[in-house]
Structure 1
Amino acid sequence: MTNNTLHLKYDVFVSFRGEDIRQGFLSHLVKVFSRKQINAFVDDKLKRGDDISHSLVQAIEGSFISLIIFSENYASSCWCLKELEKIIERKENYGQIVIPVFYGVDPTNVRHQKKSYENAFAELERKYNLSEVQIWRRALKISANSSGITSSSFKNEADLLEEITKVVLMSLSKNPVNSKGLIGIDKSIAHLESLLRKESKKVRVIGICGMGGIGKTTIAEEIFSQNRSEYDGGCFLPKVSDELTRNGLKSLKENLFSTLLVEDVKMDTPNRLSSDIERRISRMKVLIVLDDVKDTDQLEMLFGTLDWFRSDSRIIVTTRDKQVLIANEVDDIHEVGVLNSNKALELFNLNAFERNNQLEMEDYCELSKRFVHYASGIPLVLKILGHLLRGKDKQVWESMLDKLKREPIKKVYHVMRLSYDDLDRLEQKIFLDIACFFNGLNLKVDYMKLLLKDCESDNSVAVGLERLTDRALVTISKDNVVSMHDIIQEIGREIVRQESSKDPGSCSRLYDPDDICDVLQNDKGTEAVRSISVDLLAIRNLRLSPHVFAKMSKLKFLDFHGKYDSRDIPDFSNLLPQGLQYLPTDLRYVQWMHYPLDSLPDKFSAENLVILDLSFSRVVKLWCGVQNMASLKEVKLSRSELLRELPDFSEATNLEVLDLSFCRKLTSVHPSIFSVNKLQKLDLFLCGRLTEFTSNAPLSSLRYLNLGLCHSLRKLSVKAENITELNLAALRIDACPSTFGCQTKLEILNLEFSEIEDIHSRINNLTRIRHLNLRYCMNLRTLPELPSSVEIQLAEGCSLLETILFPLTAAEQLKENKKSVEFWNCMNLSEVSLRYIRLNAQINLMRSVHQHAPEHDIDDYKHNFASYQALYVYPGSSVPEWIEFKTTKNHMIINLSTARVDDPLLGIIFCFILGSGYNKCDQIELGITTVNDIEKEGVRIYMTRPYFAAYMDHVCMIYDQPSSRYLTSLAKTQTRFKINVTARSRDGPEFDALVVAFPISSEAGEEA
């Protein structure tokens, strides 16, 4: 690859014919790429006209790989052919990797334009210049001649997707670090990768330390990016210390486990996971990066999670303080040093000059070396200087050097200040706002545009953010979150401090706790103050005047933050002993946790508010009357346990998030909520006095609705056709809402502990539902046929459940993708229902074996653990007839000598009969050990079960891919072996279990 790859933005550009694959194969491919951390450009807009857009050309040029999916109608689109033409140009001129995928077409037909491709080109020749058509023919031939992937070579699309992902990852692994513009970190990457691969019987922790701006985070990001695909789960936690200070340990760990499991995880306390989450995490090989840990205690708190991870997991910690790593006895420490002069010059040139402008580099060579000397090999300084000087003439360079001579080299501040001085007024304002207030709040660009604009348009703020990004002063992540490097933040804050070091009241942005205490306690605020951000603990002992903000008429951003454990919440009730008379009208962002008053000031105006967060407050009512709230995006009143009523939100036309969880005294939701057309998330969890939630108006934008534990709710009717997650746990309603079945995009439905008596047959309309939780629906008697999309079906403790309906034909059941079906303690199931459960279990378990059985030999089963692929539990003590090997002991002999050579073993399904006589436990560990003349080895299967006692015997049928791989690997060399099985609860003694097994061959699967 040439220097043109230095600024690549994407890993893969995907070229495809939308009408052929957009709705099916492409959507699955995008999900797989996202899961594997592959940054792909996929243009999902409908393509009109003949010319491809400039953004598409940039995307092709900015991609390391082009993945071309040739389908039946690919050549009928001139848009696709022009993409292809550009791709081949990049391949021939710059060495771009091209991977063709022949999806439902023969490569020969593509190469020589036969069949549908021949017809398409006949039509193209009638419409376009023949020379242009000839270019397209040549492009097709070149791309089709490249080593590619043919869909007909795979049994199913899952295998095809796996192969595409594998080929893409292998190609990306050939992408040299320097091709991404990351100069001088090759040795660090190589050393750290060798540390990652060290054998260990426990989780290894690797520390990366060095001064600020030296590249610790950059190196950690690259290590994570290059190695993430080798792990079952991965999480990069940026700015750990800031997150701990702002949101607490519990929030940070919830973020960690949510990212690892790709779902929303909640913890009761910072040190306790639910048994289900702990079990799943313990089976995963994970890669975690804890970035910017500042204090020894913080790492000690986080290291409590080590016991939760599998021994081949790895944790990387970056810090400026080496003592943090030494005190916590990490396994290895990698110290990042400054760049040598050659690498430093290379990095500087990369940022200071246009690509391939060798003449200019040579002309400025001596000047460049002087700047490199000034930067002392610090990557961040080199980048900022390069951006600052880019495009400037020699006179400006000389002038800049003279300016640097007058200011000490000891502090990076001087370099940053030069970069700041080169910004225009708006850019400087945005820079300082981020440095002094918004950094660490995880706000996205769209929100920042609303918060930062004054007289300017949204677009000017967006341009300003882009300019700051180009100058390496801020970073915008893949999901559009705006952040800033710590050193740059410190420089921004120093700039603000120096503007009013003797008079904090005239400072534009207050962030220092001592200055804030002085200003608030002594009423020193002035109209110069634009933002205030402080931890509440710093001001807890103050007694503020009712007019404390009266002189701060231009205050726009206010953040009194602090989350604390419920057992140790400081008392903030005396912060405003005489109340509060005034809050500035210009306020756009207000976070005042533990707000001590029962309402906001009478004359408060929400006209400019974008975000209002009064979580943990003592608010009873926000305000009276109707406010102009056109700018409002988020309102968070979580755990405001005195809140009794909501204001009229009819003017909040842009409201997207309303969090009222744990507002235990809230009795009703203002009807205006149902007219908010852009509302996406509404959380009413544990609003225990809420009695009614009904409306005829459609909430067309709502995606998330949580009414869990609203015990007093009796009336429920809401139209939300686009909702994806609905929580109705523990509701005292006996039937589904009348609108049930209209939510065709619903994916997660939680009805556990509710008094529901009937699940309406309209549930079959919910064709996207994946997770259905019916645990302890004690009045439920009948469960209708469910959509084939359901993957997890939990019905534990449904003691009256008698009838369960399944699809009538095996063909229909084969469309299912059941992963967990559990009927613990469903004692009233009819024999007919049990028979259907057994048949459904057989079909889905065999399908799972065929779906997950590897095509190639895998001997490293210990390094490929994952959660079990399919589980069925139902009351009973009889073994299904189709099970082949059975025993009433804790061991059995499996004899595979009758298997044919051409009938390979695909996998093994296990069946365990668990009696009612064992103690309460929430996890069962099943150890499987094979014994032969040479060695004794084993694997374990972990299975959750209700914590409450089992009142009868249960049949547990499970397909666990790692265990199956372990035994099938033995079957390659042995036809007869013995299996010992021990069953025990997580913390309890061993207990008896009847064990049976059914080996599945390719023939058996077909017969099933």
Structure 2
Amino acid sequence: MNSSFLFTVCVAATCFFTLLGTLFFMRYRKSRFRENNETVNSSSVSPVPPPSCVSRNWVHTVFPSFHGEDVRTSLLTHILKEFKSKAIYPFIDEKMKRGKIIGPELKKAIQGSRIAVVLLSKNYASSSWCLDELVEIMKCQEELDQTVIPIFYEVNPSDVKKQRGDFGKVFKKTCEGKTNEVIEKWSQALSKVATITGYHSINWNDDAKMVEDITTEILNTLINSTPSRDFDGLVGMGAHMEKIEPLLRPDLKEEVRMIGIWGPPGIGKTTIARFLFHQLSSNNDNFQHTVFVENVKAMYTTIPVSSDDYNAKLHLQQSFLSKIIKKDIEIPHLGVAQDTLKDKKVLVVLDDVNRSVQLDAMAEETGWFGNGSRIIFTTQDRHLLKAHGINDLYEVGSPSTDEALQIFCTYAFRQKSPKAGFEDLSREVTKLAGDLPLGLKVMGSCLRGLSKEEWKNKLPSLRNNLHGDIESALKFSYDALRREDKNLFLHIACFFNHEKIEIVEHILARAFLNVRQGIHVLTEKSLISTNSEYVVMHDLLAQLGREIVRNVSTSEHLTREPGQRQFLVDARDICEVLSDDTAGTSSVIGINLKLSKAEERLHTSESAFERMTNLQFLRIDSGYNGLYFPQSLNSISRKIRLLEWNDFPMTCLPSNFSPQFLVKLCMQGSKLKKLWDGIQPLRNLKWMDLRSSKNLKKIPDLSTATNLTYLCLRGCSSLENLPSSIGNATNLLNLDLSDCTRLVNLPSSIWNAINLQTFDLKDCSSLVELPLSIGNAINLKSLNLGGCSSLKDLPSSIGNAPYLQNLYLDYCSSLVNLPSSIENAINLQVLDLKYCSSLVELPIFIGNATNLRYLDLSGCSSLVELPSSVGKLHKLPKLTMVGCSKLKVLPININMVSLRELDLTGCSSLKKFPEISTNIKHLHLIGTSIEEVPSSIKSWPHLEHLRMSYSQNLKKSPHALDTITELHITDTEILDIGSWVKELSHLGRLVLYGCKNLVSLPQLPGSLLDLDASNCESLERLDSSLHNLNSTTFRFINCFKLNQEAIHLISQTPCRLVAVLPGGEVPACFTYRAFGNFVTVELDGRSLPRSKKFRACILLDYQGDMKKPWAACSVTSEQTYTSCSAILRPVLSEHLYVFNVEAPDRVTSTELVFEFRVFRTNIFPTNTLKIKECGILQLLEEADDEHRQSFSSDDDDY
């Protein structure tokens, strides 16, 4: 390349490169159907091209290849001028010396150029340098998708292709003395470049005009081929694409497919559709037309109100066709779309459709479009799609908590993780947004750039008021509802969010013709969901509903006073109304009050509700001392249907209270002594919950409560009896009397409630007996008598309850035996007898209960033996007899075919090895007197775990050594553990608790996962092979004689969860140490790819008693944030906790901050425990990754 040309070019590429960004091939590009690795997961919707063409960062805009002598005076000046005027800056190689071959720097420049412009003149082939450039350029076109633009200046493309004429003569001269290989490369490069569509100077009379046209075209090419930045930073798109792909069916190339994307407003439907459209339209699928019609519902609103259905369709179809052919047109009738597109392969996205007329006008049926077409709709209304025959639907769900935080941080901080110091605030705002992408975007943008104090000041407003952009997006959906559906929406938003559908239907039955149909409509329109039989409305939609009822007006300019509104949901409004006897009116039908401690106090009078004669729904949560009510109320509306008043402060309801329309009564934790006197009309009552009303002495007559299905009196500790009228509640399904500690007996009429299915009497410690007629409970499925410590026996008729499945008798410490009739309970599946400490024996024929799947006899300390009939329990997978200290023998000659687990832990009188099933997988014998393991155990094909206590005979039983998975050597005088322990090839856990004379540990088996040497006070030394235990949990609690070598060995050995060892400071082997709860680690940039795993150590400053605390570690860099957690157990001073921590894989920063915090619960940090000192050690790459997992809070109790 002529250096004088290059000297004349102005070097200003930086601005241009910043504008254009990452580039790829524009004419023949092979675009990808996937996202950048930093933002989304990959998708398999289409083949992924080589990374070089999809993620390449071009260094130069244009690489020009030309022969300077041909164009210096005639063309060069024009080229330079036009390039410069259009901010196109070619590669400059003025510092390169020309030689016979191009050097590596020039090759690198060619490879890094987005476009190569080859100016082929008559003497171009006279330069071997130019020809070598061309060879490299054509190679980059093929391998890197570089764009090549040839300009044929005063030369015929055919002559270039075939190397003939004057051009061929020049070429042949240059080939003299060259090898055949070089000549062939040159020739092929010339032939290829000549076949590329380019520019021929013969088509222009004026060089200046030609150059202007060519450079303009190059500029347009650059602009049009610049990769879209519209989707940078999107979170979770890969997961959405993977779920949509099966609906698109790219394999069905001849089929026209229509798919729907639906979900609530603000969930991200349009964003997903845009991303999908971008991927499909750039995927080289040869769509003849592509169009994304945004916000179709808004198009419909622009149609004149006077238009009929036909004209509306005509208007929509005309707009649609104009968009798809990119030209404004007018159409005479509705058949134009079908005629125009029926043989065209098109990609169409109709975004945010909300009326069938829109679908009919723009995409009535698949026959309108050519083979291979894909038509995509987004909507909130699932029914709309189904009615149009679209069954391939993708429901957009909420992002995960982590994804929601990333979305929020993208807008708040322009990065994927919170800035330092904003972590807790970011999580709180994310929670306020309810994981709704629209809310996350708006709130993040609103808070961007603000200080921490400004964030805190804005939080109250965000909690109580919807941002205008969020409100307008959500309210459009509400406005489109029919009047009755709007009313139902408001009822749910204000009162029934997260309520059971059944309850909603019954409470609203008088207000709506068909509640279930209304719920269905709201579900189809994505305004609620009905997961697991509950009505669930997104928090932001519920907030919208509450704001709508607050803003209801009597006229255009006059807002109603709170007491004149239908619903009262704002705490301050409610306090205002209830504090003023005259404020409430007959307009009020519902009050939903929940005050936090931060809000104002409330004082009311006896007449607070007197004027609210139409009040139907009253929910008050007065669970703290901020609400002050009188000793009694004058009245509550006779129309009341829902009365929920937790911690009700009065001893009874108003004397004139009428429950005629009452459907649900919930007064948990109340001070009630009684509800009302006499018989009241209770035909509508279905749910009554008075749990924890500790002063309640009696419940009212239930003679008329024939539709009552649920009655909960749990924890009513003053209740001594039930009314005999309870037998009239013939539809009662669930009766909960648990923890009614003064309840002595039950009325015999209780079994007249023949539909009773679940009866809970747990911890009724004064209950002496059950009514003899329990056998009449023909539908009873579950009876819980656990903790009925005064109950001595059960009625024999219990065996006649034909559907009894679950019988809980745990902690019935006075129960001596079970009635023999229990064997008749053929459907019994659960029998819980744990800690029936007086139980001497089981019924002889207990084995006749052949459906039994759960039998727990733990703590039955008087039980001596089991009847042989247990061998018939062929469905029992587990038998638990922990702590049956008098059990001496188990039946012989039986084989319980389904038994997989037998737990005899603590059966200290048991001496003979249990052989009751050869199918056992887990056998627990710790704390028994069994000393020998029979050789027959080798024939148990399924045995995986054998837990035993140490005895001298074990060393003589090699068949046992191969089988034991857990071994306890506790509180013994043992001086050392012999080398035999390493022969326990399946040992997973070794407990050496309290071996006070033990000085050292030998080599341990490599299978070990858990080593507990706590309270081994004399322990000093550990075998160096401990370092090979790559997945073990260590506990060396109170082993204060451990030497420094042992401390360092434990600290540097990879552990499975948390290692606990004595120490008053972080060991020196931890490279980074600091006082307090955080430490900064400086990484060598060269080691970043292998610097993801670390060992952490913390020392606690223990200041009091804590149960089950847990620690959290956050790892923060400039770009990333991650966290992990683990339970710290037990909590000790002068002890170290060591564990593994992983940094995110995508860390590129050389500085990481490790911050540790201790929590009392999953939410609140604790002041009881503080981090006194912490340390970090970077692990080597070759260490075993498989077992060195980050610590987790899912660990079981040690």
Question: What TM-score do you get using the length of structure 1 for normalisation?
Answer: 0.48
Report which of the two has the higher share of helix: 1
Name the larger-Rg structure: 2
